[in-house]
Amino acid sequence: MPELVFFSGTMDCGKSTLALQIEHNRSTRGLKGMIFTRDDRAGEGKLSSRLGLVTDAIEAADDFDFYAHLVDHLSQGGRADYVIADEAQFLAPGQIDQLARVVDDLGLDVFAFGITTDFRSKLFPGSQRLVELADRVEVLQVEALCWCGARATHNARTIGGAMVVEGAQVVVGDVNHAADEVGYEVLCRRHHRRRMTAASSHAGALSPDVLPVDAATRA
Ligand X SMILES: Cc1cn([C@H]2C[C@H](O)[C@@H](COP(=O)(O)O)O2)c(=O)[nH]c1=O
Enzyme catalytic residues: 87
Separation between Cα atoms, residue 35 and residue 58, nearest integer Å: 6
Give the number of other Cβ atoms within 10 Å of residue 101's Cβ: 17
C-beta of 126: minimal distance to ligand ADP in Å? 15
- Alpha carbon distance, N-terminus to C-terminus of the chain: 67
Among 5, 6, 8, 13, binds ligand ADP (CB under 6 A): 13
Instruction: State yes or no: 185 annotated in a binding site.
Output: no
Contact partner, 195, from ligand ADP, ligand X, none, Cβ < 5-8 Å per class: none
C-beta of 105: minimal distance to ligand X in Å? 29
Select from 90, 98, 154 the least CA-distant residue to 128. 90
Q: Sign of dihedral through CA atoms 160, 161, 167, 169?
A: positive
Contact partner, 144, from ligand X, ligand ADP, none, Cβ < 5-8 Å per class: ligand ADP
Q: Which residues pair with 46 in a beta bridge?
A: 56
Cβ-based nearer residue to ligand ADP, 70 or 126:
126
C-beta of 127: minimal distance to ligand X in Å? 11
Per-residue binding string, ligand ADP, 130-149, x by CB under 6 A, is ------------x-x-----
Contact partner, 171, from ligand ADP, ligand X, none, Cβ < 5-8 Å per class: ligand X
Instruction: State yes or no: 122 annotated in a binding site.
Output: no
Separation between Cα atoms, residue 219 and residue 77, nearest integer Å: 79
Contact partner, 142, from ligand ADP, ligand X, none, Cβ < 5-8 Å per class: ligand ADP
Q: Binding to ligand ADP by residue 98, rule CB under 6 A?
A: no
Select from 155, 162, 147 the least CA-distant residue to 200. 162
Q: What element of type H or E holds 15? A: helix 15-27
Cβ-based nearer residue to ligand X, 17 or 98:
17
Q: CB-side exposure of 100: number of CA atoms within 13 Å?
A: 16
Widest Cα–Cα separation across the chain: 79
Cβ-based nearer residue to ligand ADP, 70 or 114:
114
Q: What element of type H or E holds 59? A: strand 58-59
Instruction: State yes or no: 149 annotated in a binding site.
Output: no
Q: Binding to ligand ADP by residue 8, rule CB under 6 A?
A: no
Q: Binding to ligand ADP by residue 37, rule CB under 6 A?
A: no
Instruction: State yes or no: 23 annotated in a binding site.
Output: no
The burial class, CB within 10 Å (0-12 / 13-18 / 19+), for 57 is buried
C-beta of 20: minimal distance to ligand X in Å? 12
The annotated binding site for ATP is made up of: 9-16, 86-89
